[in-house]
């Protein structure tokens, strides 16, 4: 049985299309507003990436979208690391949260990583926000000691600092993938 909110059924993950850019920007903005009630309210003031940036990620093959009832319910932007795939951004429309969208997106990226002979997924997130690190831990990610951070993880945190955001509670996490 489907949870409350719009659309019915399980999320269907697919490669993002250029036309999905506007939905991704809208979802990113809605998710950023959730930070108003967090230890990092300044995130809400940092505007979403433009739709064209998401469209460019789709064109490069680095955007996954989850659809429920034909609507974009969430998205994941990723990039290739030396031995892993790095989650740059994962957002789920608040109207579709708690319906397995993030899990479906991470599972799809894990399948892609295995197909590309990558050993893991990595990301950075806030340790002190309930819908960040604790959710990723439930999805199989574990914190990485700072001395083991990948260049992409370091770049994520540096970009936050350059944008004037508080990165003091930002952590890197890794999900090792079982061999195929």
Q: What is the pLDDT of residue 179?
A: 58
Closest CA to 63 of 22, 99, 30: 22
Q: What is the pLDDT of residue 109?
A: 98
For the chain, which residues score pLDDT lower than 50? Answer: 1-4, 180
Alpha-carbon span 161 to 148, nearest angstrom = 20
Question: 73, 2 in Cβ contact below 8 A?
Answer: no
DSSP state of 137: H
Q: What is the pLDDT of residue 7?
A: 67
Q: What is the pLDDT of residue 2?
A: 41
Task: Kindly report whether the global pTM for this prediction surpasses the value 0.85.
Answer: yes
pLDDT tens track for 6-30: 667 899 999 999 999 999 999 999 9
Q: What is the pLDDT of residue 6?
A: 64
């Amino acid at each position: 049985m489907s949870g409350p909110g719009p659309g019915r059924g399980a999320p269907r993950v697919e490669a993002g299309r250029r036309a999905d850019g506007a939905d991704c920007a809208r979802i990113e903005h809605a998710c950023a507003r959730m930070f108003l009630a967090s230890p990092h309210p300044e995130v809400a003031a940092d505007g979403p990436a433009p739709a064209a940036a998401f469209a460019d990620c789709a064109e490069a093959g680095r955007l996954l979208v989850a659809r429920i009832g034909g609507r974009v319910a969430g998205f994941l932007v990723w990039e290739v690391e030396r031995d892993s795939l790095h989650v740059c951004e994962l957002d789920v429309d608040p109207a579709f949260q708690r319906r397995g969208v993030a899990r479906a997106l991470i599972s799809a990226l894990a399948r892609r990583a295995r197909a590309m002979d990558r050993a893991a997924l990595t990301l950075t997130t806030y340790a002190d926000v309930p819908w960040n690190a604790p959710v990723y831990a439930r999805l199989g990610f574990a914190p990485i000691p700072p001395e083991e951070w990948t260049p992409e993880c370091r770049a994520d945190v540096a970009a936050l600092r350059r944008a004037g955001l508080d990165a003091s509670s930002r952590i890197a996490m890794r999900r090792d993938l079982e061999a195929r």
